[in-house]
Structure 1
Amino acid sequence: MARHDVKTLLVMRHATAAWAADGVDHHRPLTGHGHGEAAATGRWMTERGWIPDQIVCSDALRTRQTCVWIGEALGEKAPTPYLDPRLYGADATGALSIVNETEESTRSLLVIGHMPWVQGLGMRLMSADSDEDAALDMAQDYPPAGLQVFEVEKPWAELDGRDARLVSFITP
């Protein structure tokens, strides 16, 4: 496939969250530190030109707040995020099925979600030619606001496993 046909998949864990005042996990907000982590990840994305055409985000408060900080860093280039409630309780297979629904015209997709599926999805998608250091870092420790960057040469609908090249894993 020609280089211009390579798409980018960004998979991000939400930033550090506090406990919800009402005790409901879905309502957990970001901490002050989490706001800084999310902003730092957004700046990293912007500095490196990783500007998503589309953002799909869990509808939990902490992921929505993370998405706001990413959007702030992206500025006018930020797409309107789609909140998908299926990402909140998903596993890696469920999250992958949401990625598989992406229109082929999307060249760069950011998915913001939760452990353990963000790490599980990365482990499932990572091809044999992935960056070894990035793969080891992601597999050993996936902290809040961690971001995986994959190169994808297949149609979104055909992603299944070991078919995306992990090129970077960053943490704020």
Structure 2
Amino acid sequence: MPSLLILRHGEAGHSFSGGDHSRTLTSRGQEQSRQIGSWLSYSGLLPGATMCSDAMRARQTCIWVNEQLGEKAPTAYLDDRLYLAAPHGMLSVINETPEAVQTLLVVAHMPAVQEVSMELASVHSEEEPVIRMAGSWPTAGIAHLRFDKPWAELDGRDARLVAFHVPGAQTPGA
């Protein structure tokens, strides 16, 4: 079964240039990202491909996650469509994933990460992670969804949310 990992970027600070697109991670955001990389490695959720917003904070999140994944980390594909994407725009990018990819990591922004994950979560999802994910999506929060159809056909209520993990939080079953 393919897995979709939807990650909100780590905590970001202010931009030195003044633009939102160039905001960088804080030291806490760097640590959150390293923790997500460790969690992915520990959980055996090694992405076969990574799609990342081209915003600086998302790119830096990928760097710190990949540092923890080491040689097994795929090179992130930067996609400007993920920056401030509407939920259906993000889902369209996900639908382009080649069928050979078994695990896709998407690094993007609120509110699309939460809205797409809620849209995809089927009635067969684990209840506790859905409730936590719906209530709040902190920086570096990550959803793990599984499904049994082609990437191109993923469109709504057809993926099972199996975990929602937040670095440093006590997350049962995640």
Q: 1:11 and 2:6 equivalent? A: yes
- Provide the C-alpha distance between the structure 1 equivalents of 2:114 and 2:154, rounded to a whole number of angstroms: 16
Alignment partner, residue 143 of structure 1: 138
Aligned residue for 1:109, secondary structure, equals strand
Q: 1:88 and 2:83 equivalent? A: yes
Alignment partner, residue 36 of structure 1: 31
**Identical columns (%):** 49
Alignment partner, residue 162 of structure 2: 167
Match for residue 92 of structure 2 among 94, 97, 101: 97
- Provide the C-alpha distance between the structure 2 equivalents of 1:21 and 1:79, rounded to a whole number of angstroms: 29
Unaligned runs of 5+ in 1: 1-5
What is the aligned length?
167
Unaligned runs of 5+ in 2: 168-174
- Provide the C-alpha distance between the structure 2 equivalents of 1:64 and 1:75, rounded to a whole number of angstroms: 16
Deviations 1:146-165 (A, max 9, x none): 00001121100000100000
- Provide the C-alpha distance between the structure 1 equivalents of 2:55 and 2:124, rounded to a whole number of angstroms: 34
Deviations 1:70-127 (A, max 9, x none): 1101101001110000000211100000000000110000000000000000110000
**Letter paired with 1:168:** A
Deviations 1:15-66 (A, max 9, x none): 0000101210000000001000000011000001000000000000000000
**Letter paired with 2:71:** E
Match for residue 56 of structure 1 among 42, 51, 64: 51
TM-score, structure 1 length as denominator?
Answer: 0.96
Moved over 4 A (4+): none
**Letter paired with 1:65:** Q
Alignment partner, residue 68 of structure 1: 63
Aligned residue for 1:135, secondary structure, equals helix
TM-score, structure 2 length as denominator?
Answer: 0.95
- Provide the C-alpha distance between the structure 1 equivalents of 2:143 and 2:84, rounded to a whole number of angstroms: 20
Q: Contact 2:84–2:112 (CA<8 Å) still a contact in 1?
A: no
The RMSD of aligned alpha carbons is 0.5
- Provide the C-alpha distance between the structure 2 equivalents of 1:73 and 1:127, rounded to a whole number of angstroms: 31
